[in-house]
Amino acid sequence: MPIDIDIAHVARLARLALDSDELERYRTQLGVILEHAARVQEIDTAGVEPTSHPLGFTNAFRSDEVAPSLDRDEVLAAAPDARDGYFVVPPALDQR
Amino acid sequence: MSHADLTILEAGAKLRAGELTSVQLVEDVLERAALTEAELHCYLHIDHGGARATAVAADRELRDGFDRGPLHGIPVAVKDNFCTRGIPTTCSSQILAGYRPPYDATAVARLRDAGAVLVGKTNLDEFAMGSSTENSAFGPSRNPWDPERVPGGSSGGSAAAVAVGSALGGFGSDTGGSIRQPASLTGVVGVKPTYGLVSRYGLVAFASSLDQIGPLARTVGDAVVLLSAVAGHDPSDATSYRGEVPDFGSELTLGVEGVRIGIVREFSGEGYEPAVAAAVADMVARLEEEGAKATELSLPTMALSLSAYYLIAPAECSANLARFDGVRYGLRVEGETVEEMMGRTRAEGFGPEVTRRILLGTYALSAGYYDAFYGQAQKVRTLVLEDFARAYSQVDVLVTPTSPTTAFRLGAKTQDPLSMYLSDVCTIPSNLAGHPAVSVPVGLDDSGLPIGFQVMAPALGEATMFRVAAEVERLAGFTSRPGLVAA
Amino acid sequence: MSWESVIGIETHVELSTQSKMFCGCAVGFGAEPNTSVCPVCLGLPGALPVPNERAIESIALIGLALNCEVARNSVFHRKNYFYADLPKNYQISQYDLPVCKDGWLEIEANGERRRVRIERAHMEEDTGKSIHTGEGGRIHTAGSTLLDFNRSGVPLVEVVSRPDLPDARTARAYAQQLRDLVGELGVSDARMEEGSIRFDANVSVRPEGQDALGTKVEIKNMNSFRSLEAAIDFEIARQIGVIEAGGELIQETRHWDEEAGVTQGMRTKEGSSDYRYFAEPDLVPLAIGPEQVAALRTSLPETPSQRHDRYVGMGLSSQAASVMSASEPAMRRLFEGAVEARAPAAAAASWVSGEVTALLRRTERSLESSGISSEGLAALVAMVDSGQVSSSAAKEVLAAMQPGDQDPQALAERLDLLQISDSSALAAQVAEVVAANADARERYRAGETKVLGFLVGQVMKATGGKADPAVVSRLLVEQLS
C-alpha cells in the first residue's frame, strides 16, 4: 500500500521549519518506515480494545496542598530572553 | 589492579573493611576515565569536583558510623537524560546545550540519598532515540571491545563506562531496549524493570508509556543493588507503582531447578547471527542441565511489536518533545514571529533521527491517519499483552537473544533507519507490555565481541528473573574484560 | 423570511483550589509574574503531572449539580498545539471520556422555566498569560510578547451546553444561573471580571422551521453578562445580514470588541487545527465510584428551581419565590432566617427584595456591614403588623440598624417613631380636635363623611404623626356619632 504523506503539513503541525530538500528526504524515509509500520494493519483487531498504558491501576492523585515554587531568578536565568520578571518572545503571527 | 575494576559489592566490602576509601575509589575511576575518554567518549560531562566532594563526605560518614547502604561511596554514572540540579543535562541535543535543570530527577535524588557518588552524565542517542549512540549531537561513544564499533544505544555511554571501569555502575533509560541492547553489545548486565517500579520524574521523556529507568552493572548482584536504590513509589509520578517493591535479590542463589523457561520461536532465524543463536541455544541447554524445564513457544504478535512500537513511541515523542520551543530554556533561533522562532529553533535544534520520529509520530496521530496507524498500534499492543499472558501461564520466564547481532561498525546503519530499528526487535515487546527484562553477557563471538542473553518475566517478576539471570551468569562464567582494560 | 437563532454556551470555570491542577504551585490572583511556577507548570524537561484530588471532586460536584452522569472511567488526553503561553505545547484536557456528560440545568428565563441540556463537563489545565507589547502598546504594532506562567496549570472545568438557547437574553440567563450555581457549590470564585468564569458562545441562525443547524460561529472575549448578551445579539443580526445580502457564512471564531460593539473575525491561524488528541500517558484513568458519587451528592446545595418550589411551600407566590430564589445567597439567608424567627414569609420576602435591597444599594453597603439581621428584620415586621410603627417609620428604623445595635423596638423608641395606638391615650386629643372643628363635625353629621379624613389629619398633626391612624379613625367615628 503506497502511503500518502503531506509532509509539509506534518512539519507545520510539528513546528519544524524544514526546507524543501529536507522535507523531501523525510517524506521518502517516512514512507519506508510507515510501510513497515503498516504491518499493524495486517492483523484482525475487531473487538480488540486499545492499550494506551501497560498499567492496570486508576486514580493516582495528590492532595490539594501548596508546595514551594521555583526561584524566579533561577527560572528566568535559563530563558533565552527575559525582562521584568517575564519570559519574552517575538510577537505571534496574529498579533502582527 | 585498579579499584575501577571492582564490582560494587567487592568495593563496598573493602570500604567497610577499611581497605579502601571512597576517595581512592573515585580517583581510580576518574583516572580510568582520563585514560579512556578520548577514545570512547562515554561521558558528556564529568563532575570531578562534585564527585570528589561526595567521596570525601562518604568517607567521613562511614568513619562516623553512618552507613547509607551498599551504594555508599560508590561511583556511578547516569545517562544525560536524567535531570541533575545545576549540572548540565542535554539529552545529547543541541536544543538543550548548556541547560542546567533547577531540580534533581527522583532517581538521582535517591542515588544521592543512598550515598552514591555521581561521576558524571553519560552520552546517549539524542533524546534516547537510537540504538548506537551515534545520534548524539556531541559525537558518538565507542565500544571498549572494539572502538571501531558502536556500544549500542541509546544508553551507550553508561554501558561503555561500566564496561571499561569509568564507573562501577550506571543508569540508563529503556524505551525499546535502550539499556539491554547496549549492555549486550558491551558485555555488561542491563535491566529494564517493570514499568512504574522506578519513578520517571526528572527523566526527560521520550515515550512516556514505554520509558523506564534501570541499571547497568558488571554483575547481576550489582544490578540488584543499583535497582533497589532507586525503585519504589514516588508521589511525583502518577504512573509510579504503589505497591510494595519486590525483594529483587531474594532468589539469587536458588538455582533454576524446576524453573519453566520459554524459548520464543519468533526470535530466531533470518537476521540472527549464528554465533548469537548458538550462544543462546547453548545457554538454554546448560540451564536444562541444571534442572530448568525448557519449552519452545510461539508468540505470533511479537513479529508486529516492532511495527507497533514505531508508531506508539514516535506518537508520544512528538508531544513530549513539543516543549522544546525556544521560549523558556535551551536553544533559540530568532525569527520575526514566535511561530517562526519556534519552527527554526526546532529545525536547527533537533538532529535528523529526532526530527524523523517527531514527523512520524505527528503523522500517526493526525486527522485521517490516527485509526489506521496509532489506534491500530494500540490494539496490537493489547494483543502483545495477551500473547505474553498466554506464555506466562505455561512458563516462568522467556529467554531470547538480547540483540540479533553483536556490536556493529560505526556508520554501518546510519543511512538506513529501518535496519537500525531492527536491532531492537527482541527488546521492544517487554516495553510494550511493561514487563521486566534483563540482558546478561554469555560469551564472545569469533570477533571477540560480547553476546547478550535476555531473560524476560511478567510484571513484578523481577525476583525470578534475577534468579535465572544469576544462574546464567554463573554458568557463562563471563569474566572477559574489554581489550582496552584487559591488559 | 423570518429567522431563528440557535445558541450554545461553552463555559470555563477556574476552580478555587489551593494548588494548581497538576502541581503544588499556589493558585492566586495578582501575584508577581512567574513566581508561582515549578518544573511541572513551566513544562521543564522531565517534569510529570499529578492530578489534584480536590479538583476532581469539584468537577464531579459540578457534574452532579448539572444532573450529569459522572463517569466511572474517565481519561485525560493531550490536546496538541503550539502556543507560546502553553508550556508543554500540549494542553492536558479530556476528549472522548470526560468526567461528566449528558446533564441539564433548569433555568428561569423571560418568566418561564427552561431546561438547557449539558453535553459534557471536562477537566483541563489553564494556559499562561501573554501580554503583547509594542511601541504603541497596541496589539497590532506589538514589538514582543511577555509571558507569565502563574496561571499555567490552574484547574479549569469546561461546561459545554447543547445548542438549546433561542436568544441572547436566554443565553445570558443561562450564563448567570450557571455562574450562581458554581458559586454556590463553592468550587470557584466564579467572578467574570477576574476571568475566573468565562463564557464563549456558539451562534448560528436558520430559517424558522428548518431542522438543520446553520453555520456555527464561536464568539469569545465577553467580559460581562451584559456584553455576552450584546455580543450574541450583534452576531445574530450580523449573520442574518450576511445571508440576506446573499453572502455566505464561514465557520470561524470571532472576538467581541467591547468598545466598538461588534464581533470581529480573527485572522485565520497558520495551518488548520488538528489537535492530535491521544490519551495522556503520564496519567492513569480516573474512576469515580458509586460510593464517592453518593457521598458527593449529599454535599450538593439546592438548585434554584428546587429552592423556588421550597419557597412556594413556605407561602410565597410563584413570582416572589422566583425573585427570592434568584437572589444572592446572603439575601436568601436573611429571608429564611427571618421566617425562622416567625416573620410571615410574604412580608419578609417583600422587605428583603424591596426595602433591604434598595437600602443596601443606596448606601453601598453589604448586608454584613449593615447590621440588618434575620431576628431584627422579623421583629420589625412584627412591629409593623401590630401597628407599633408605621411602614414609613419602619424604613427609618431599618436604616438606623447598626452591627450590635439592631433591636427595632429600642431603635424606634430612641428615634421616637413608635405609634400611639392606645385609645385612652388618644381619646383626649380626638375630643380636642372635634371640639375645635365644630364646622367639620356638623358636616359629618349631615352625611358628608369625607371630612373624616381631614379630622384624622388634624389628630395626626397634633400628635406629631405618631398616632396610629386606624385607631384615630375609629375614635373619631365613635365621638362624632
Q: Is A39 on the interface with B (CB under 8 A)?
A: yes
Map chain A to HEC letters: CCCCCCHHHHHHHCCCCCCHHHHHHHHHHHHHHHHHHHHHHHCCCCCCCCCCCCCCCCCCCECCCCCCCCCHHHHHHCCCCEECCEEEECCCHHHC
> Using 50, 70 and 90 to split pLDDT, how confident is the model at C369?
confident
Q: Is the pLDDT of residue C404 over 90?
A: no
Residues of chain B positioned with their CB less than 8 A from the CB of C140: none
Which residue from C minimizes the CA distance to B341? C84
CA distance A70 to C129: 18
Residues of B within 8 A of C42 (CB-CB) are 328
Residues of chain A above pLDDT 70, percent = 95
Q: Which residue of B has its CA nearest to C91?
A: B319
**Per-residue pLDDT band at C190 (split at 50, 70, 90):** very high
CB atoms within 10 A of CB B258: 10
Q: Does C84 touch chain A (CB under 8 A)?
A: yes
Helix (H) or strand (E) holding B440: strand B437-444
Q: What is the DSSP string of C172-195?
A: HHHHHHHHHHHHHHTS----TTTT
pLDDT of B288 > 60? The answer is yes
Return the beta strands (E) in C234-382 as ranges.
252-257, 262-265, 278-279
List the single residue in B with minimal CA-CA distance to C81: B322
Q: Is A79 on the interface with B (CB under 8 A)?
A: yes
For residue A20, the distance in angstroms to the closest alpha carbon of chain B comes to 13
- pLDDT for the residue A2: 59
How many Cβ atoms are within 10 Å of C81's Cβ, its own excluded? Answer: 17
Residue A73 at interface with chain B, using a CB cutoff of 8 Å: no
Q: What is the mean pLDDT of residues C302-314?
A: 86
> What φ, ψ does residue A70 adopt, rounded to 5°?
-80, 160
Please give the Cα distance from C158 to C122 (Å, whole number).
5
- From B254's Cα to the closest Cα of chain A, the distance in A is 30
Cβ–Cβ < 8 Å for B157, B80: yes
Q: Any bridge partners for residue C7, and if so which?
A: C165, C203
Query: Residue C464: is its pLDDT beyond 90?
Result: no
Is residue B119 within 8 A of residue B29, CB to CB? The reply is: yes
DSSP letter for each residue of B398-421: EEEESSSSSPPBTTSSTT-HHHHH
Among residues C402, C394, C393, C409, which one has the least CA distance to residue C465?
A: C393
DSSP letter assigned to residue C281: T
The mean pLDDT value for B396-411 works out to 97
pLDDT for res C136: 47
Model confidence at C387: pLDDT above 90? no
Global pTM?
Answer: 0.88
Q: What is the rounded CA–CA span in Å between residue A62 and residue A75?
A: 24
What are the tens digits of pLDDT across the range B49-67? 999 999 999 999 999 999 9
Report, as an integer, the average pLDDT of C358-387. Answer: 87
Sequential DSSP letters for B348-387 = HHS-HHHHHHHHHHHHHHSTTTTIIIIIHHHHHHHHHHHH
Measure CA B374 to chain center: 25
DSSP string for residues in B274-335: HHHHHHHHHHHHHHHHTT-EEEEE--TTHHHHHHHHHHHHHHHHHHHGGG-SSSSSS-----
Q: A81, B332: Cβ pair inside 8 Å? A: yes
Query: At how many degrees (to 10) do helices C168-185 and C225-244 cross?
Result: 150
Report d(CA B423, CA B133) in Å as an integer: 13
- Average pLDDT, stretch C293-306? 86
| Chain A hits for C26, Cβ within 8 Å | 66, 69
Rounded to a whole number of angstroms, the distance from the CA of B30 to the nearest CA of chain A is 30
Whether B382 sits inside 8 A of A49 (CB atoms) is yes
How many Å separate Cα C25 from the centre of its chain?
30
In whole angstroms, what is the distance from residue B449 CA to residue B480 CA? 10
User: Is the pLDDT at B190 greater than 90, yes or no?
Assistant: yes
| Range with the poorest average pLDDT among B89-98, C83-92, C413-422 | C413-422
Per-residue pLDDT band for A95 (boundaries 50, 70, 90) equals low
User: In degrees rounded to 5, what are phi and psi of residue C201?
Assistant: -120, 135
Whether B323 has a pLDDT exceeding 70, the answer reads yes
Taking Cα atoms as reference points, which of B315, B250, B279 lies closest to residue B453?
B279
B318 contacts in C (CB within 8 Å)?
A: 80, 276
Q: How many CB pairs under 8 A join B and C?
A: 105
Helix C374-385, helix C329-340: angle, nearest 10 = 50
User: For testing the chain A interface, which of B306, B363, B371 should be mutated: the one with the most A CBs within 10 Å?
Assistant: B363
pLDDT of residue A96: 43
Cell 449528558 belongs to: C102
Gyration radius of chain C over CA positions:
31
pLDDT band (50, 70, 90) for residue C267: low
Q: What is the C-alpha to C-alpha distance for residues A79 and B142, in angstroms, rounded to an integer?
A: 34
Per CB-CB distance under 8 Å, the chain C contacts of B102 are 39, 44
Report d(CA C76, CA C56) in Å as an integer.
12
Tell me whether the omega of the peptide bond preceding residue B154 falls within 30 degrees of 0, making it cis.
yes
Q: Which residues from chain B sit within 8 angstroms of residue C270, using beta carbons?
A: 339
Other Cβ atoms within 10 Å of C323 Cβ, number: 20
Label the pairing between strands A82-83 and C155-161.
unpaired
Strands (E) across C403-468 are located at none
CB spacing of A55 vs B432 below 8 angstroms: no
Q: What is the pLDDT of residues B109-127, one digit of tens each?
A: 999 999 999 999 999 999 9
Tens digit of each residue's pLDDT (9 = 90 or more) over C13-52: 999 999 999 999 999 877 899 999 999 999 999 999 999 9
The CA distance from B299 to the nearest CA of chain A, in Å, is 14
CA distance C115 to C105: 6
Which candidate from A33, A41, A48 shows the least CB-CB separation from B382? A48
Question: Could you give the 3-state DSSP secondary structure of residue C100?
Answer: strand
Other Cβ atoms closer than 10 A to B438: 35
Selecting among B22, B93, B132, B154, the annotated active-site residue is B154
Contact B239 C282 (CB under 8 A): yes
**If pLDDT is split at 50, 70 and 90, which confidence band does C270 have?**
very low
Known catalytic membership, residue B307? no
Position A85 confidence tier, pLDDT thresholds 50, 70, 90: very high
Reported confidence tier of residue C112, pLDDT bands at 50, 70, 90: confident
Sheet holding B169-174, edge to edge: B43-46, B117-122, B75-79, B169-174, B212-217, B189-192, B437-444, B450-456, B397-401, B260-264, B293-297
DSSP three-state, residue C84: coil
Question: CA-CA distance, B382 to B386, in Å (whole number)?
Answer: 6
Catalytic residue flag (residue B92)? no
- The interaxial angle of helices C53-65 and C290-298, nearest 10 deg, is 70
Q: Tell me how crowded residue C414 is: count the other CB atoms within 10 A of its CB.
A: 12
The answer to whether the CB atoms of A67 and C51 lie below 8 A apart is no
Element (H, E) at C53: helix C53-65
Q: A29 to chain C nearest CA, in Å? A: 22
- Work out the minimum CA distance from B212 to partner chain C, whole angstroms: 12
Which of B307, B382, B435 has the CB atom closest to A36's CB atom?
Answer: B307
pLDDT band at C137 (very low <50, low <70, confident <90, very high): very low
Residue B167 has pLDDT above 50, yes or no: yes
Among B62, B82, B77, CA closest to B30: B77
pLDDT of residue B486: 61
Interface touch B328/C87, C-beta < 8 Å: yes
Which helix (H) or strand (E) segment holds residue B29: the answer is helix B22-40
User: Is A43–B334 a contact, with Cβ atoms under 8 angstroms apart?
Assistant: no
What chain B residue is nearest to A86 in terms of C-alpha separation?
B328
Average pLDDT of C288-314? Answer: 89
CA distance C148 to B423: 45
- Please give the span between the terminal C-alpha atoms of chain C, in angstroms, as a whole number: 73
Query: How many whole angstroms separate alpha carbon B90 and alpha carbon B82?
Result: 9
Tell me which of A20, A51, A62, A81 to substitute to probe the interface with B (most B C-beta atoms closer than 10 Å): A51
Q: Which residues are within 8 A (CB) of C294 and not within 5 positions of it... i.e. 6 or more apart? A: none
Chain B residue numbers touching C282 (CB-CB < 8 A): 205, 208, 238-239
CA–CA dist C274, C266 (Å, integer): 18
Distance separating alpha carbons of residues A23 and A30, to the nearest angstrom:
10
User: Which residues of chain C approach chain B closer than 8 Å at the C-beta?
Assistant: 39, 42-51, 78, 80, 82, 84, 87-90, 145, 147, 270, 274, 276, 278, 281-284
Instruction: Output phi, psi for C177, to 5 deg.
Output: -75, -30
Grid cell 568513619 in the structure block, residue: B63
Q: Which of B132, B141, B178, B403 is catalytic?
A: B178
Sheet holding C76-80, edge to edge: C90-94, C76-80, C278-279
Q: What is the pLDDT of residues A27-69, one digit of tens each?
A: 999 999 999 999 999 999 999 999 988 878 899 999 999 999 9
DSSP B123: -
Chain C interface includes A87 (CB < 8 A): yes
Residues β-bridged to residue B108: none
In the prediction, which pLDDT does B21 show?
A: 98
C278 to chain B, minimum CA–CA distance in Å?
8
- At C268 the pLDDT is 55
DSSP-assigned letter for residue B183? H
C139 close contact with A: CB closer than 8 A: yes
CB contact, 8 Å: A43 with chain C?
Answer: no
Over residues C338-354, the pLDDT tens digits come to 999 999 999 999 999 99
Residue-wise pLDDT for B346-396, tens only, equals 999 999 999 999 999 999 999 999 999 999 999 999 999 999 999 999 999
Pairing of strands C142-148, C155-161: unpaired
Q: Kindly state whether A52 is in contact with chain B, defined as any CB-CB distance less than 8 angstroms.
A: yes
- Mean pLDDT of the B461-482 span: 96
Greatest Cα pair distance, chain B, in angstroms, is 71
Backbone angles phi, psi at C205, to 5 degrees: -125, 155
> Residue C139: what pLDDT?
47
